[in-house]
Amino acid sequence: MLGVIGGSGFYSFFGPDARSVNLDTPYGVPSAPITVGTVGEHEVAFLPRHGVNHEFSPHTVPYRANMWALRALGVRRIFGPCAVGSLTSDFGPGAMVVPDQLVDRTSGRPDTYFDSGGIHVAFADPYCPTLRAAAVDLPGVIDGGTMVVVQGPRFSTRAESRWFAEQGFTLVNMTGYPEAVLARELEMCYAAIALVTDLDAGIETGAGVRAVDVFAEFERNLVPFKKLVHEAIENTAQDNSCTHCQPHDGIRLPFELP
């Protein structure tokens, strides 16, 4: 089974014929019930990251519950669509980018399942190369970029935005971490697909990011963005041959993965 975790403005993926699944986990309940439908030949589970009515801010999303629930349901590969700001004028609003690196600038978020056992997870390349290839193979998709994940819920200051850009980061987001590393700990393939909604504060003189503008830009691009996610799923092979996202080979874990 494939999974899709929808970001801001991306609260549904299937019609009324999809089945709904309510799951509890050792880490609480997920952001919302999971809906299960089909895309092409794939069975797909969809979960809105922020809840159906955007109840969860980036720093309060129950990331561990979300990822655990998807794994328990049978999901082993996940696309994570998300809204991002751009740190370069090369990527304007409406651009769709599949990043290949992330930088964590969050704080205080529970970001591991391994509070005991001395488990260390390889994360040099945080996104699944097989899922990335399925998405970047599509027309108009930008291949690569570094996404810096900030704590939120506030947007960056101009100084922070310029600092990120000077480091060579190209996208800024609030939810890409710890989602990606939790997927890796659970041995699930994961790839982010980013929709640029704005140029960040330090990129355009005189402008600043406003939530109302971000949501409006996302809404304008929601139909083609969902279409891209559908096509990426259809472009994904039925059989999962990825070994990149299985970091626990030869390691004894302190508990069974769901």
Residue 198 is labelled as binding a ligand: yes
* Per-residue tokens: 38: 């089909």
Inside any domain, residue 19: yes
State residue 213's pLDDT score.
Answer: 76
Query: Is residue 200 among the annotated active site residues?
Result: yes
Catalytic residue among 198, 213, 239, 249: 198
- Whole-number Å distance between alpha carbons of 131 and 165: 27
User: Would you report the helix, strand and coil content of the chain in percent, each value rounded to 5?
Assistant: 25, 25, 50
**pLDDT per residue rounded down to tens, the chain (258 residues):** 999 999 877 888 998 889 999 999 999 999 999 999 999 999 999 999 999 999 999 999 999 999 999 999 999 999 999 999 999 989 988 999 999 999 999 999 999 999 988 899 999 999 999 999 999 999 999 999 999 999 999 999 999 999 999 999 999 999 999 999 999 999 999 999 999 988 887 676 556 677 777 777 778 878 899 999 999 999 999 999 899 999 998 899 999 999
pLDDT for res 95 = 94
How does strand 146-150 pair with strand 189-199? unpaired
Q: What percent of the chain has pLDDT over 90?
A: 79
- Is 24 among the annotated ligand-binding positions? no
For residue 162, give both structure tokens: 């310029």
User: What's the pTM?
Assistant: 0.94
Q: Residue 207: its pLDDT value, please?
A: 67
Q: Which element (helix H / strand E) includes 87?
A: none
CA dist 100 → 110, 116, 117, 183, 249 (Å): 23, 29, 29, 15, 23
Q: Write down the catalytic residue from 17, 90, 200, 213.
A: 200
Q: Which residue range(s) make up the domain with 126?
A: 2-235
108: left (phi over 0), alpha (psi -120 to 50) or beta: left
Q: For the segment 136-181, what is each residue's pLDDT rounded down to a tens digit?
A: 999 999 999 999 999 999 999 999 999 999 999 999 999 999 999 9
Length of the chain: 258
Calculate the alpha carbon distances from 186 to 62, 75, 139, 207, 210 in Å: 16, 10, 31, 40, 35
CB 96 within 8 A of CB 228: yes
Looking at residue 254, its pLDDT comes to: 92
- Count of domains forming the chain: 1
Q: How many CB atoms lie within 10 A of CB 208?
A: 15
**Torsion angle in degrees (nearest 10) through CA of 199, 200, 204, 205:** 160
What's the pLDDT at 16?
82
Instruction: Decide the pairing of beta strands 42-48 and 96-98.
Output: unpaired
In a domain, 249, yes or no: no
Tell me how far CA of residue 119 lies from CA of 21, 78, 185, in angstroms.
31, 23, 9
H helical segments located in the chain: 63-73, 129-136, 158-166, 176-185, 211-234
Q: How far apart are CA 149 and CA 23, in angstroms?
A: 28
241 appears as a binding residue in the annotation: no
In a domain, 246, yes or no: no
**Strand pairing of 34-39 and 42-48?**
antiparallel
Q: Tell whether 240 is covered by a domain.
A: no
Instruction: Look up 137 and say whether it is catalytic.
Output: no
8 is in an annotated binding site: yes
Q: Is 59 annotated as a binding residue?
A: no
Q: Is 143 annotated as a binding residue?
A: no
Residue 140 covered by a domain = yes
Q: Which residues contact 235 (CB under 8 A, 6 or more apart)?
A: 134, 135, 137, 138
Q: Tell me how far apart the alpha carbons of residues 245 and 256 are, in angstroms, rounded to a whole number.
A: 17
Q: What span, in angstroms and rounded, lies between the C-alpha atoms of 225 and 231? A: 10
User: Tokens 């089909």 belong to which residue?
Assistant: 38
Annotated binding-site residue? 175? yes
pLDDT digits (tens, 9 = 90+) for 108-144: 999 999 998 889 999 999 999 999 999 999 999 999 9
Q: What is the pLDDT of residue 234?
A: 96
Q: What is the CATH number of the domain that holds 79?
A: 3.40.50.1580
